[in-house]
Structure 1
C-alpha cells in the first residue's frame, strides 16, 4: 500500500473554529504560540489517537468525505476547510433568502389582517346602528309571537274542552227531542253526556268550581231529558212488542240495558210491561178457554178447553198445561229480552244504585239486595201470569168443590202437586203460580179427606155384618181398589223418594186405616178361630194391594206383623182342637208338667186319675176314632182362610206341637211301666197292669197319620 492510500484511510480531524478563522470576522495576524503551550503536532497526534472509530459522528464524517470523492492530497487537505466554510456560507445565504420570502409573505398577511380589521370595525358599526334601529321592532315581534303561542294553546284547550265537556246543538237535539229517533246517534250522545257528567268531577277539584257546576248542571239536565225520552220510547215499543216473534229487535234490548242505569225508570217500565203482558195473557187464556175473545169474536183456530169440562181431570189438566206452556214461552221470550246479553242490566242497575245514594238503604233500614237477573226474570214472568192465574184458580176451585168422587179428588190433588213442583223449578218456590198450586192442592186434599170420611160414615152399617164365608167385606175390596188407583196415581208424582212414605201417610190415614179398623172391630164379634180367619183374609187382601208400592212399606210391615199374630192364634186354636178331639187333652195336661228325668215325677204318673185303666182305655179309643180324619178335620177348620199355604203351615205347626206333647206323654207312660216292673220284681207280685198295653199308640204312628 502506498503512502497516499494510507493517507486516504487515515482519519482526518474535523476542522474546528480554533484552527480556521471566522470568515465573517476581520482578519488579524496570527500570533505565534510557540513556546507558550503544548506542541500542536503532538496535540493533533494525541487527538487522532484518542478518536474512536466506533464513534457515530466520526463514522458519519468519514461517510460524508467518501461521498464527496476527495483524494487525500495536500492540496485537497488545504482546500477542505475553505470548501466547507464556503458551503456553510452558501447555506446561510439560502436560508436568509428563504426567510426574506417568509417575511414578505408575513407583511402581506399583516396587511390583509389590517384590512379585515377595518372591514370588521366598519361592519360592527353598521350592525350596531342596525340593531339600534330594529330593536324596538324585534321586541314587538317577540311579544306578538308569545301572544300567538298563548292564543294557539287556548284554542287547542277550547277545542278539547268543547269536544269533551260541551254538547253541540245537534247532539242536544238528538238526545232530548222526542221527534228525533232513538238510534245509534242517541246512544252515542247519551254516552258522551254521561262521560261529561263524570269528567266534571275533575273540574270540581279546582278552586274555581263555577264552570264545573254549570257544566255538570247542564249535562245532568240533558241526561235526565235523554233518559225520559228513552223511557217514553220503551213504553211505546212495549205496546207494540210481540213476544211470540222469535226475532225481538236488538234496539229495545239495548235501550233496556241503558235504562237500567236509572233503576226507578227501569222498574216503572217493568211495571208497565208486566201490566200490559198480564192483560195480554189473560185475554189469551180466556180465548183458550172459550174460543172467543172478550169482544165476542170467535177464533176458529182454537179448540176451547171448556169442551172437556165434562171430564174434570182433563179439564183441569188442559188449563194447567196451557198455563205451563204460557209461562215457559213467556220466560223464554223475556230471557231473550232481559238476560240474553249477560249481566249488562244487572251492571246498569248497580251503577244506578251507586249513583242514587239515597236509595242504598231500604225503608226498613236493611241494605238493598244485589240485583239478580234470573230472580227478576222469574218475578216478571210471575206478574205477567197473575191475571191468567186468577182465572185458573177460580175454575179449578169450582171443579174441586163440585166434585163428589174420592179418587178424582186425589187425582186432582196429585195433578196440582205435579204442576206445583214444575212451576217451582221454572219460576222458583216463592212465585204466585207455585203459591196458587199449593193452595189448590190443599183444597183438593181437603175435599179428598171430606169425601173419604163421608164414605166411611155411610159404611158404618156394613161394619156390623161379617160375611158368612169370612171373606174380606165388599167395602174393604172397594176401598182397596180406590186406594190402589190412588197409589198408582201417587207413584207417578214428583215427590222425592226420601219423603214419599211420610207424604203419603195422610192418604193412608183417610183411605186405609178406617177400613182396617172396621174389619178389626167386626172380627171381635166373631168367635175363634173365625175371627182370626176373617181378620187374616182382610189383612192379606190389604197386603196384596200395598206390597206393590215402595212408599207403603211401613204399613205393609205392620200388616205382616198383625198377620203373624193372628196366625199364632190359629196355630193355638188348631192345637187346642187336636188335643180336644183326640181325647188326650186331660192326659197331656196332667203329664205335661212332669219331667222325665225326675224319679218322683215318674212315680206320680201311676197315681194320676187320667192314667187309670178305664180313663186310659177310653182316651185310647177316642184317639183311634179321631186319627183317621184328624188332619182333614183340622184343615176343615181353616177352609175359609184364603191363603191355603198359611192354613197348611198353621195346621202343621199345631200338629207338630201335638206330636211333641204326645211323645212326652208316651215317654212318661213308658217310664211309669218300667218303674212298676222294677217294683213288681222286687215285691214278687203276680198281677201287673201295663199302661202301654192300655194305650198302645206310638209317636211315629201319630206323626204318620197327621202328616
Structure 2
C-alpha cells in the first residue's frame, strides 16, 4: 500500500527520466520533439498540483517541488528559444513552430525576440526574392526579369507592385500558421503587424525605382497630344489601387505609407504636367474659321481629358480626383475659347461659343463626371441660346415690319389702334404680305450663320423660339385688328389668316 502511494506521488509531482531527457535533450543542439511539449506541459500540471500540498500543510515539500519544476521549465524554455531561432533560418521549419511560439508566450521577452528574429529572416528572403525578380527573373528565365520592362514605365511599375502583391499572401499564410496556437494575444492583429514588418524590406528598392520612373516621366519633352500626363495619371492610379489592396493585408505600415507617398508624388507630378499640357494646347486654340467650328486645339484638349478619365477605371476611388482634373482642363479651355472668339460679332460669336460648349458638354456627359461643371456649362449654353434667339427674333421682326408694330401693341395699345402711324391699315397689310412670304419659306429670313450650329437641338430650339415669338405677336395683333373700337374698316382682308393657321404653318 505504501509503495502504491509513493508511485502515485512520484507520478503526480515528479518528472520521469524520459521526460527529463525530452526537456534537456541529448545535446545543446538536439531537435525539439512532441515529447518535449508533453514534458513541458507536465511541469505546469505539477506546479498546479503543488497548491494542494500547500493547503494540506506540506509547505516544505511543495516549495521544493515548485523550485524543481521552475528550474526545469526555465531551462526548457531557454532551449526552446534557441531551437526556435534556428528554425526561423531554415526554409522549411518544423511543424512544431506554432506550438513552440505558444509555449514562449510565458516569457514575453523571449516571445518578442523570436518574433523579431522571424521578421528579420523573412525580410531578407523577401528582399532577395524581389531583387532576383528584378534582375534574374523566374526559374529558367520565366518570367523574364522585371528590369527588362524599364522602357515601359506603366508595365515596369505594375510588374513590381504585382510581384509584391503576390508575395504577401504566402507571408500571411506563414504568419497565420505561426500564431495559430497562441491564445493570449490578438492573433489577427499580430499577423498583420508581422506581415507589415516583413514587407518593410522591399520599401527602399521599390521606392527608388518608382521615384526614378516618375521623375523621368516628368522630365520628358511632351508636345501637344503627348502622353506624359496620361502615363503619370495611370501610374498614380496604379499606386493607389495597390496601396488600398495591400493595406487590407498589412494594415498601416511602412509599405503602405511608402505607396501613399509615391501616389501623392505621382499625382502631384501629373497635375503639374496636365496644367502645362493644357496651357500649351490652349495657346494653340486658333480663331474660328468660316464654319465657326471648334478648332483642332479644342478637340485635342478634350481628347486628353477623355483619355485621362478613361484611365481612371483602374482605381475605384479615382472619381474623387475628377473634380480637380476637370477644372484643370475645362477652366483654361473655356477662357481660351472666349478669347479666340472675341473678335467675332455678337451673332457669329454666339454660334462659335455654342459649338465649343456643345462639344465640351457632350464630352463630359459621356464621361459621367462632375455634375457641377455640366450645370455650369449648361448655364452658359442657355445664355448663348438666349442671345442668339433674341438676335434672330429681332432680325425676323425687322424683316417682317414687326419691329415698329410690336412696341405699340405691347403692353397697352392706344385706342383706336388704326390711328397710330405704325399700325395704319397699309402697315398692317404690308406685314401680312411679308408674313405670307415668310410662311412659304421660313428659313429665308433666318440668319445664315445658324446653319453652322453643330447641334441639331440648338437649331431646333432657335427655330421654335423665333416661331413662338411671331405666333404670339401675330395672335395679339390679329385680336386687336378685329376689335371694332380700333376702327379697322375691313380687318378680315388685312389679316385673313387665323392665329391657329399661322401656328400650324410655323410649328
TM over 0.5: yes
2:20 matches 1:163: no
2:170 matches 1:329: yes
Structure-1-length-normalised TM-score? 0.64
Residue number in structure 2 paired with 1:279 = 124
Once residues 591 and 551 of structure 1 are traced to their aligned partners in structure 2, the CA distance between those partners, rounded to angstroms, is: 48
2:420 matches 1:608: yes
Deviation at 1:614? 7.0
Task: Indicate how the Cα distance of structure 1 residues 198 and 514 shifts in structure 2: closer, same or farther if over 3 A, else same.
Answer: farther
Residue number in structure 2 paired with 1:264 = 109
5+ residue gaps, structure 1: 1-151, 243-247, 351-370, 596-600, 678-689
Residue number in structure 1 paired with 2:400 = 582
Deviation at 1:643? 0.8
Tell whether the 8 Å contact from 2:418 to 2:487 is kept in structure 1 after alignment: no
Deviation at 1:316? 0.7
Residue number in structure 2 paired with 1:129 = none
Deviation string for 1:654-676 (max 9, x for gaps)? 12211221232233234368635
Instruction: Identify which of 280, 295, 306 aligns with 1:473.
Output: 295
Tell whether the 8 Å contact from 1:466 to 1:522 is kept in structure 2 after alignment: yes
Task: Indicate how the Cα distance of structure 1 residues 701 and 635 shifts in structure 2: closer, same or farther if over 3 A, else same.
Answer: farther
Residue number in structure 2 paired with 1:19 = none
5+ residue gaps, structure 2: 219-227
3-state DSSP class of the match of 1:531? helix
Residue number in structure 2 paired with 1:659 = 471
3-state DSSP class of the match of 2:446? helix
Once residues 433 and 488 of structure 2 are traced to their aligned partners in structure 1, the CA distance between those partners, rounded to angstroms, is: 24
Deviation at 1:271? 0.8
Deviation at 1:323? 0.8
3-state DSSP class of the match of 1:435? helix
Residue number in structure 1 paired with 2:135 = 290
Instruction: Identify which of 88, 98, 104 aligns with 1:238.
Output: 88
Residue number in structure 2 paired with 1:565 = 383
Once residues 180 and 703 of structure 1 are traced to their aligned partners in structure 2, the CA distance between those partners, rounded to angstroms, is: 107
Residue number in structure 2 paired with 1:203 = 53
Residue number in structure 1 paired with 2:222 = none
Task: Indicate how the Cα distance of structure 1 residues 213 and 176 shifts in structure 2: closer, same or farther if over 3 A, else same.
Answer: same
Instruction: Identify which of 313, 316, 327 aligns with 1:491.
Output: 313
Q: Which has the higher contact order (CA 8 A, sep 6+)?
A: 2
Once residues 23 and 73 of structure 2 are traced to their aligned partners in structure 1, the CA distance between those partners, rounded to angstroms, is: 8
Deviation at 1:277? 0.8
Task: Indicate how the Cα distance of structure 1 residues 568 and 630 shifts in structure 2: closer, same or farther if over 3 A, else same.
Answer: same
3-state DSSP class of the match of 2:31? coil
Deviation string for 1:536-567 (max 9, x for gaps)? 22222123222234444454344334333332
2:348 matches 1:511: no
Task: Indicate how the Cα distance of structure 1 residues 630 and 331 shifts in structure 2: closer, same or farther if over 3 A, else same.
Answer: same
Task: Indicate how the Cα distance of structure 1 residues 624 and 550 shifts in structure 2: closer, same or farther if over 3 A, else same.
Answer: closer
Instruction: Identify which of 384, 408, 424 aligns with 2:231.
Output: 408
Deviation string for 1:178-203 (max 9, x for gaps)? 25431122222211222222333333
Instruction: Identify which of 8, 20, 33 aligns with 1:172.
Output: 20
Aligned residue pairs total: 496
2:452 matches 1:640: yes
Structure-2-length-normalised TM-score? 0.86
**Structure number, greater radius of gyration:** 1
Once residues 266 and 303 of structure 1 are traced to their aligned partners in structure 2, the CA distance between those partners, rounded to angstroms, is: 41
Once residues 300 and 228 of structure 1 are traced to their aligned partners in structure 2, the CA distance between those partners, rounded to angstroms, is: 44
Once residues 484 and 423 of structure 1 are traced to their aligned partners in structure 2, the CA distance between those partners, rounded to angstroms, is: 29
3-state DSSP class of the match of 2:419? coil
Deviation at 1:423? 1.5
Residue number in structure 1 paired with 2:350 = 532
Deviation string for 1:236-286 (max 9, x for gaps)? 1111124xxxxx642223323333333332221111111111111111111
Q: CA RMSD in A?
A: 3.2
